[in-house]
Structure 1
């Protein structure tokens, strides 16, 4: 597993750098981050999709605390559907990831008091390097003809499923093009049934997990308004 989790990448994309506030659907982001943890486990060969459920195939730690906590929780539980897992894992996950990013100096925690007693936290960016790399990687995938690597394809699929395209800072025709390209990446990776798993641009075992999770997010969010 790399030093940056997919859930962290999704969160950094979704939070405004200056205001430190989340943009777009909060439930969409929470579901996407939960799915991101599961995808990281699939990329690391720790979980797989079988008989309609996501199951642990290797309980050995990955070395990343939040991911390993989820892995341990899954290993101690019975198998659940992708839809069940993203709902179970999304609660409290955002706070854990934000705390980790604060501890690493990527964002800072600005604690403001509203109405005299309500604490409101903002998380403006301190070190923009990490987010810049994420956005650059996505920009290449969305504007070029190159086949993205597994992690970038997974990130693109989760961005599309959770309807986070506006977080890419695009509008008008560029936003429409990004939406189309996200769909193309998902199709070429075997996430949407447009190509067989044998023709997928990523490992079939990983594609199965991502496809199932993307469908679970889409179903949970319902029809676009």
Structure 2
């Protein structure tokens, strides 16, 4: 196989990230923040849908986004916050159509100083302690001992994508260039590391 053929094969799938917007159909213009990672894939769900002559199942797209939560380096104790959103999936055999039905707010948690970035829509009264320690760098290493609060649902208003899981509209986005449906927030997590700009991670589901 010649170098020209190998180069042609590589150039069809391996492209410069600087040309991402020109080479793909994604459109993030509705957001003002900065995204640093995009991962998209499509999976077929296999199940018994009681549909005659149906081979396999319906397809669901999964979009994972990571972006900076602001522009300033974080100063404070390490922390994190996460939430999941509950959705029911209903498949209409006759019309070959998949529906996402909002089923309520899922479990959420916040630890350290992450309360500056998020608020839990309902907090449980009990708090737990999170400890992280390692002596690999010697006895003068710092270990982390922070409190975690758990609850239901979350409101996040920093960036690059704000949301509120208390309603379907609050955690559903307009189509961003891939698929045929809106984008339904599944999971979210923001990590706070002292000295670094916090990074927010999102997982959305959509209909291809």
Same fold (TM over 0.5): no
TM-score (norm 2): 0.22
TM-score of the aligned structures, taking structure 1 as reference length: 0.21
Larger proportion of strand:
2
Could you say which structure has the higher helix fraction? 1
Q: Which one has the largest radius of gyration?
A: 2
